Structure 1
Amino acid sequence: MFRHVPGLFYSPSATWNRIHDDIERSPCNFIPLLLLGSLIPALCIYYGASVAGWSLFGSEQQKFLSQRSAAMLAVAVWLAYVTNIVIMGWMVRWVLFRTPVRPSALRGMAFATFLSMPFMLGALAALLPERWLILLVIPIVAGYSALHLYLGLPIFMRLSKTKAYFHATCILAVGLLTMLVVGLFYLESWRALAPPGDYQGIEEERIEQTLP
């Protein structure tokens, strides 16, 4: 499944056909891509928050998380991506309940996994967490994922384009709601479990390191 990822960016229609054929042969082949691909945003968030430092909105001071807190945030991000795709697999199956060939939940998860690839790769921006870069990347990856939804749904699910557009719009609405709810759940879970102190400034860390 990893070999299909580059094709999503330069030959999407042919790639969606190849993805369809591979999932037909082995419905669980997408799982390694899901588990390993979700590590990209998790590791990038860890590096950006604990090593590179963030300039938070409303402040010009560079801040960072402790390694322990950043590691917990990375785990929360990984779980959020996996949870979101599992839920969306069932949501895709639910939205397409009246189609001639209703997809299984696994098939829906495979579809959601490839739709999330722009978000996974776009998380590389967290390695250099500048505000202007984040604001630039978010609409690009969201737009590209939505484009693949409308392009890939009729190919992957073998639907007519007329009906696929309606179903794709429903999936888009459900996906936005799911992403928001899952993201807030894991964010609040991290805030509840992470060590106190939140972000520290660079000068604060240096002072702590010099103390005996």
Structure 2
Amino acid sequence: MLFQQMCGVMFHQKDVWTKIRERKYTVIECYTHVLLWLCAIAPVSFFFGTTQIGWSFGNGDYVKLTVGSALMIAIVFYFALLVGVGFIAHVIHWMEKTYGADSDLEHCMVLATCTAAPLLLAGITGLWPMLWFVVGVGLVALAYTVYLLYSGVPELMNIPQDQGFMFSTSILTVGMVVLVSMLVSTVILWDLGIAPAFTN
């Protein structure tokens, strides 16, 4: 049910956001019905793309990863996505009172799940890991994620548009901080031994 409504958010935002607000989903439902599957798209796609096709920067040369290193990176990436969405939901719940919202963690989790969906779906580009293709689709998905965030916060949190705009901006800022933190964590993990190993 949540997955169907999440798909509906893509095309009929206002009506579906209202239905989602009225139907109380649990954090467990968000994970079992949606996130466990959506968060797997990018790791699985990039695992196959980087081991079977190879990463390309557009100059005709393809670089492949070994199965072992790609699998380790995919597993870490998968759990990082799961934790990242949950962390953003908790931050939204922590900030909501500041902007006049009176929601619960469950609604914040639904908001984080629905707005992250375009970026998670864009992970399918990993099956054809061409740099320009991945970046291009990623930017489009990011733009739509931002649109869903700004349209969804006032409706789901049941607050005025001006407060919703400020709240959405704060959430977006947190999301960017989480993204940067994940990049820094990647560098640290590489130093600890979870680094890509290339085939000859």
Corresponding position of 1:17: 18
* Alpha-carbon distance between aligned partners in 1 of 2:89 and 2:163, rounded to the nearest angstrom: 19
1-10 or 186-195, larger mean C-alpha shift:
186-195
Q: Is the 8 A contact 1:56 1:63 kept in 2?
A: no
For residues 145-202 of structure 1, give each alpha carbon's deviation from its aligned partner in whole angstroms, at most 9, with x where no partner exists.
000010000111111111100111111111111121024314532563337x7223xx
Letter in 2 for 1:39: A
Corresponding position of 1:39: 40
**Larger Rg belongs to:** 1
Q: CA deviation at 1:44?
A: 0.8
Q: CA deviation at 1:99?
A: 4.0
Q: CA deviation at 1:56?
A: 4.1
Corresponding position of 2:55: 54
Q: CA deviation at 1:29?
A: 2.2
* Alpha-carbon distance between aligned partners in 2 of 1:76 and 1:27, rounded to the nearest angstrom: 22
Corresponding position of 2:198: 199
Matches within 5 A, 1:164-203: 164-186=164-186, 188-189=188-189, 192-194=192-194, 198-200=197-199
* Alpha-carbon distance between aligned partners in 2 of 1:105 and 1:25, rounded to the nearest angstrom: 10
Change (3 A) 1:102 1:183: farther
2:14 pairs with 1:5: no
Unmatched 5+ stretches in structure 1? 205-212
Q: CA deviation at 1:122?
A: 0.6
Q: Is the 8 A contact 2:44 2:74 kept in 1?
A: yes
* Alpha-carbon distance between aligned partners in 2 of 1:105 and 1:127, rounded to the nearest angstrom: 34
Report the TM-score, using the length of structure 2 for normalisation: 0.89
Q: How many residues align?
A: 198
Q: Is the 8 A contact 2:46 2:127 kept in 1?
A: yes
Unmatched 5+ stretches in structure 2? none
Corresponding position of 2:117: 117
For residues 12-58 of structure 1, give each alpha carbon's deviation from its aligned partner in whole angstroms, at most 9, with x where no partner exists.
22222222222x2645421211122111111111111111211147x
Q: Is the 8 A contact 2:25 2:110 kept in 1?
A: no
Corresponding position of 1:127: 127
For residues 83-112 of structure 1, give each alpha carbon's deviation from its aligned partner in whole angstroms, at most 9, with x where no partner exists.
111110121122212344433333322211
Matches within 5 A, 1:132-143: 132-143=132-143
Corresponding position of 1:30: 30
Query: What is the DSSP-based 3-state SS (H/G/I as helix, E as strand, rest coil) of the residue aligned with 1:199?
Result: coil
Corresponding position of 1:209: none
* Alpha-carbon distance between aligned partners in 1 of 2:56 and 2:25, rounded to the nearest angstrom: 47
